Structure 1
Amino acid sequence: MGERGSITMRVDYSVYLVTEESRNLKDLLYIVEEAVKGGATIVQLREKTSEGKLFYEKALYLKKLLDQYHVPLIINDRVDVALAVQAAGVHVGQSDLPLSAIRAIVPASMIVGVSVSNPAEAMAAEQNGADYVGVGAAFPTTSKGDANLLPSGMLEKTAKSVSIPAVAIGGINLSNITQLYQKNLAGAAIVSAIMNAPSPREAAAGFRGAVSGEGFNLSLEL
C-alpha cells in the first residue's frame, strides 16, 4: 500500500474489466453490473472513437452504477471526461498526455495508470507518478488493434521492475490465465472474455477464482 501526500488508498486491481466501445449504453450497463456482481473489482471505460458527448454520457451513467457497488471507475485517455464525472482515475498510453501534465491538473486522490511494454517504460511511469501500470499484450488479442505481443519473459521482467502494481492485459481468458501465475502481477485486465461472454457474471466469477489463489501478488495494493 502506498501514499500520495496525506491521501492513502487501497485499490483491488485483481479482476480489471476493460469495456468494449461497440456496446450501447443499455448493454454496457447491464454487462458491467453483471461482471461486478460476479467479482470484477475495477472497471475501465475505453472509448477510442466516440465523440466527447457520448463518452461523457456513458461515463456518467457508469460512474453512478459503480458507486453503488463501491467499484472504482477508470477512464481511458480522456482526462477531461474523468474530471467531469469525478471518476476514480484515468489510464493513458505512451503517446497520450504526459504524466507530469496529468498530475498537474487532476486531484491528488485520482488514480493514474499507464500502458507499458518494457521495464524502461514501467520504471519511467513509476518515477513520474503512476499508481499502476498495464503491461501487454500478454497474449494475442483482437480487442486492441495496435497491441504488440510481448516477447517471452518480458511481462514478468516488466512487472518485477517496479514497486507499484502491474496488471497484465491482452488476450487474457480462463484458458490461459494460469500462464500469468507467479509473475508478480497484481491483477489481470479482461476485455472480450467478459464483455462477450454468454454470462458476464459467471465469467467474472471465474476470473475472480483464478486470481484469488497464490498465482497473483494481491498484496500489491496502492
Structure 2
Amino acid sequence: MSWPQLRSGVYFILPEGLDQVELVRLTEAALAGGVGMIQYREKDKSTRQMILEVTDLLMLTSPISVPLIVNDRVDVCLAAEADGVHVGQEDMPVQVARRLLGAQAIVGATTPSPQLAQQARADGASYAAIGPVFASPTKPEKPQVGVDAVRQVAAVTSLPVCAIGGIDAQNIAQLPAAGASLYAVVSAISAAQDPAEATAELAHLTQA
C-alpha cells in the first residue's frame, strides 16, 4: 500500500511477548479507538512466527487503511508485505531500508538529536522519532529528554515528528504545540482496562 503522507495521530506500539490472541485483541481495540498507526515489535520470537503474526494483523489493519509497520526487521516487513519499518540508531541504516523497501514504504527513524533528524530526512526517512520524552516504564534505563527535545527536532526538519516514551492521557496534550504529530504509546493503551476507549481519549486530547 502507498503511504505518500502519514496521518497525524496516536501510534500504538504493541508490547513484546504477546500471544496471537492478545495481539489481535489489542489491535482490534486500538483500531476501534481510532489509532493512526500500529507497530509490531518483537525481539525473541522466531522469524517464521513474526511473519505469521504480522500477516494476520495486516488482515485487520489493511482493509481500513491503517498502516502496520515492523520494528527493525526489514526482512519480516518484506515477507509479510507490511507497510514499513521503524529503525533505531543501531539497526539497518535508513537509506538501506529505503532502498530495500521502495519509495512508498514507511521508514521511521529514531533521531536522538536535531542533527540526526536532519540526516534521517536526507536518508529518506518518513518520520523522525524522539524520546523518551517522559519517564518510560518500557525503557526505564533511558533518561527522559523532555518536551523541549521534541520542539528542537521539530524546528529543524520538515518530517513528521514522533514523540515517544511515557506518553499517557496526563501529558499527551503538551505535545502538539511542541511540534509532534505522531504520539507513540505502549502501556497507555495495552494496560488500559478498555484499550479502545483509551485510544480514543488519547486521540481526542491531541486535537483539543
TM-score range, shorter chain: over 0.9
Match of 2:34 in 1: 39
1:95 equivalent among 67, 87, 90? 90
1:64 equivalent among 59, 65, 68? 59
1:179 equivalent among 174, 182, 186? 174
Shift of 1:182: 0.8
2:199 equivalent among 191, 204, 210? 204
Match of 1:217 in 2: none
Instruction: State whether residues 20 and 195 of structure 1, in contact with CA within 8 Å, keep that contact through their aligned partners in structure 2.
Output: yes
| Whole-Å separation in 1 of the counterparts to 2:60 and 2:41 | 16
Superposed CA deviations along residues 121-142 of structure 1, whole A, max 9, x for unmatched, are 1111011110101111110112
TM-score (norm 2): 0.94
TM-score (norm 1): 0.88
| Whole-Å separation in 2 of the counterparts to 1:136 and 1:210 | 19
- SS of the aligned residue for 2:177 comes to coil
| Whole-Å separation in 2 of the counterparts to 1:48 and 1:190 | 18
Larger RCO: Structure 1 or Structure 2 (Cα < 8 Å, ≥ 6 residues apart)? 1
> Taking structure 1 as reference, are residues 180 and 151 closer, same or farther at Cα in structure 2, changes over 3 Å only?
closer
2:162 equivalent among 146, 160, 167? 167
Which ranges of 4 or more aligned residues in structure 1 deviate by more than 6 Å? none
Shift of 1:152: 6.2
1:139 equivalent among 134, 139, 162? 134
Q: Which has the higher helix share?
A: 2
Shift of 1:145: 5.1
Is the deviation greater in 96-105 or in 198-207?
96-105
> Taking structure 1 as reference, are residues 8 and 155 closer, same or farther at Cα in structure 2, changes over 3 Å only?
closer
- SS of the aligned residue for 2:97 comes to helix
Structure 1 unaligned regions, length at least 5:
1-6, 214-222
Structure 2 unaligned regions, length at least 5:
none
> Taking structure 1 as reference, are residues 56 and 148 closer, same or farther at Cα in structure 2, changes over 3 Å only?
farther
Pairwise CA RMSD of aligned residues? 1.6
> Taking structure 1 as reference, are residues 80 and 146 closer, same or farther at Cα in structure 2, changes over 3 Å only?
farther
> Taking structure 1 as reference, are residues 178 and 8 closer, same or farther at Cα in structure 2, changes over 3 Å only?
closer
| Whole-Å separation in 2 of the counterparts to 1:148 and 1:50 | 28
**Number of corresponding residues:** 207
Given residue 98 of structure 2, which amino acid in structure 1 is its aligned partner?
A: R
| Whole-Å separation in 1 of the counterparts to 2:101 and 2:143 | 30
Instruction: State whether residues 173 and 193 of structure 1, in contact with CA within 8 Å, keep that contact through their aligned partners in structure 2.
Output: yes
Superposed CA deviations along residues 144-172 of structure 1, whole A, max 9, x for unmatched, are 35543115622210122100100100010
Match of 2:71 in 1: 76
1:54 equivalent among 49, 55, 61? 49
